[in-house]
Chains A and B, each alone.
Chain A
Amino acid sequence: MKQLRIFAWLLAVMFSVNSAVQAALTIEITQGAEGAMPVAVVPFAWQGAMGEAPLDVAAVIGADLGRSGRFSVLSRSDMLAKPHQADQIRYQNWRLLNVESLVIGTVREAGGSYIVQFQLFDVFRGTQLIGYSIRSSASGMRRTAHQISDLIYEVLQGEPGVFATRIAYVTELRATDDSRRYSIQVADADGYNPKPVLNSSSPLMSPSWSPDGRKLAYVSFETGRPAIYIQELDNGSREKITSFKGVNGAPVWSPDGKRLALVLSKSGSLDIYIMDLASKKLERITRSYAIDTEPVWSPDGSELVFTSDRGGRPQLYRIDLAERQVKRLTFEGKYNARASFSPDGRSLAFVHTEGNFFRIALMDLQTGAIQVLTDTGLDESPSFAPNGSMIIYATESKSGRGVLSAVSIDGRVRQRLALQIGDAREPAWAPHKK
């Protein structure tokens, strides 16, 4: 019942916000968690000369917290009062509603900009947990709201939030004349503010974030052949990194940002190489006649996990970069591929088949135990949130469109980010910006 109310409330929020900001992605919570922490975010007061605040900040915060699956957010219509200052709060009202945490705030006009002030209270103790004033602009207010969500999340959940992070993904639009337009987009983690980084009439693949969140590596077929590029997001300048004969694919940054693991077939079959980005020197890492691809670095940079069909079918292997020892990691299922390391290095998310279905699974690297997190059929490209709480991945909607979804690592909370037109795929969750 509570879940339903939250869902209805979120829908209402989505519509009201949607009319203000044209977003290409909409969010839908397909499954909520039990035991979520009840929280109320009171609409922020507006202190300006006229009209209203540039953004309903409280609505964005509420949507963020609800989307994480860790919180159940009280509907505005259930609020008995809407305080804006600490001395207006009557804690017993909120206790009656079983609210554990309360957020209040104000948006104040200050010259050409705005001051967003908020406070978070523990309802049962009747004490303030945090309070901040943040200067913001009209266009930057969504980001400010996400930063507030991150602060609240960290205090209440004990780990950093990921609401102010971004995602990169590939879109494809098919015109009526069957021509196709591909692009790499970067959007806020909630799907708002999508901005194309690159548009092309040829396929684009495998966007990968630099650890500082300032660059993307990707594969483009714009010359009719695949080539790997690195592009700066601030100024759009880019550099062609490899364009060898055959495959140039699957670029991924090392955790220190100095090297790029990538896949080339210049020696015959697909093998994994590491390029030192300063010297552009290539080092060959795997030597097999099989397909070796989709490398991913362990967070400490000491090893790569990759997909190989050297055993007959695609399975995951790890290679220790110092000793060059290769060890097979997956044995369960006919197809295990495209791993993503959790930020703590303890688990891998990857594509795993159950019968004819391709799903996202999580493996505990200590025990080798596998947990399947999704129940759809063509799931691919898992990517961990930088705090490790969720995994974003690509799947297909019932109508066959490519859509992005996210699932919590316990598999209990799922949300879908659907493009209004075209297909979205290959999501890559950006690191926390440094």
Chain B
Amino acid sequence: MNVLSKVLVAIIPVVIIAGCSTQDTKMSDAESGVDSQGSMSSASMSQKDNDSAVTSAVSSDSGFSGDALDNPASLLSKRVIYFDFDKSDLDEASREIISAHAAYLTDHPSASVVLEGHADERGTREYNIGLGERRYKAVARMMALQGTSTRQVEGVSYGEERPVAMGNDDSSWRLNRRVEIVYQGR
């Protein structure tokens, strides 16, 4: 955690400088992060082993470097997909986020995710388990269409059993109807 925050502090100015170009090239951004991954994964490995490796994870002028998953400006930093009531349809913004994760997973065969499907508190509990399942499967299907191996993607539905927002109003319900993309081993 300490290491991560140090990295973030070091990264944020770099990201802000590079920020203007990320707006219209989200996909290529994610890919560029992925392109340089070969060298980066070794950097992130050494980060785990040795705190002194932190500074080496930030390069001077090519925007973000380090594992693309840690880039706060990348679509990969978005790990929650939201849904309408009793629906599992993906909107355009969700598709972009899922595509970015699918591309990352394709390029990192050792990475894997658990997709956690959730529902809001309205409606019955076991039906909401079904709804959570349908939602994570919609995300998994889209990843598979992008070429992600099914071995890298697992899913579990928690229905309405694990809300993130506790209110019983529209704003809480909106936050609770979601799929969380959870990278394993991170």
Contact = CB atoms under 8 A, between A and B. Distances in A.
Interface of A: 203, 205-206, 221, 224-226, 246-247, 249-250, 263, 265, 269-270, 291, 293-294, 307, 309, 313-314, 335, 337-338, 351, 358, 378, 380-381, 396, 400, 425-426
A288 B158 CA distance: 22
16 contacts: A205-B125, A205-B126, A206-B125, A291-B130, A291-B131, A291-B133, A291-B134, A293-B130, A294-B126, A309-B130, A337-B127, A338-B124, A378-B122, A380-B125, A400-B166, A400-B167
Contacts, number: 85
Contacts of A203: 158, 161-162
A294 B124 contact: yes
Top 8 A-B residue pairs of the complex, sorted by shortest distance between their CB atoms: A291-B130, A203-B161, A338-B124, A337-B124, A250-B126, A270-B130, A293-B126, A294-B126
Task: Tell me whether chain B's interface is mostly helix, strand or loop, or mixed.
Answer: mixed
Given A314-B86, A314-B127, 7 more contacts: A221-B158, A247-B133, A291-B130, A291-B131, A338-B125, A381-B124, A381-B125
Contact of A335 (B121, B123, B158, B166): B123
A196 B45 CA distance: 45
Residue among B121, B130, B159, B162 with the highest chain A CB neighbour number at 10 A: B130
A136 B180 CA distance: 55
A348 to B, nearest CB: 14
Contacts of B157: 226, 246-247
Given A226-B156, A351-B124, A378 B168 contact: yes
A249 B86 contact: no
A224 B156 CA distance: 8
A246 B161 contact: no
Contacts of B33: none
Nearest to A382: B124
Nearest to A289: B134
B66 interface: no
Contacts of A307: 124, 126-127
Contact of B161 (A221, A263, A358): A221
Interface of B: 86, 121-127, 129-131, 133-134, 155-159, 161-162, 166-168
B25 to A, nearest CB: 37
Contacts of A381: 124-125
A247 B129 contact: yes
Nearest to A203: B161
B86 A293 contact: no
B123 A314 contact: yes
Contacts of A358: 122-123
A205 B155 contact: no
B184 to A, nearest CB: 11
A215 to B, nearest CB: 20
A425 B77 CA distance: 36
Contacts of A426: 125
Contacts of A335: 123
A380 B126 CA distance: 11
A206 B159 CA distance: 12
Given A203-B161, A265-B133, A378-B168, A338 B155 contact: no
A347 B167 CA distance: 34
Contacts of A269: 130, 134
A226 B123 CA distance: 20
A249 B166 contact: no
Residue among A250, A293, A425 with the highest chain B CB neighbour number at 10 A: A293
B127 A294 contact: yes
Nearest to A339: B124
B151 to A, nearest CB: 13
Nearest to A180: B162
A352 to B, nearest CB: 11
Given A203-B158, A246-B155, A247-B133, A313 B86 contact: yes
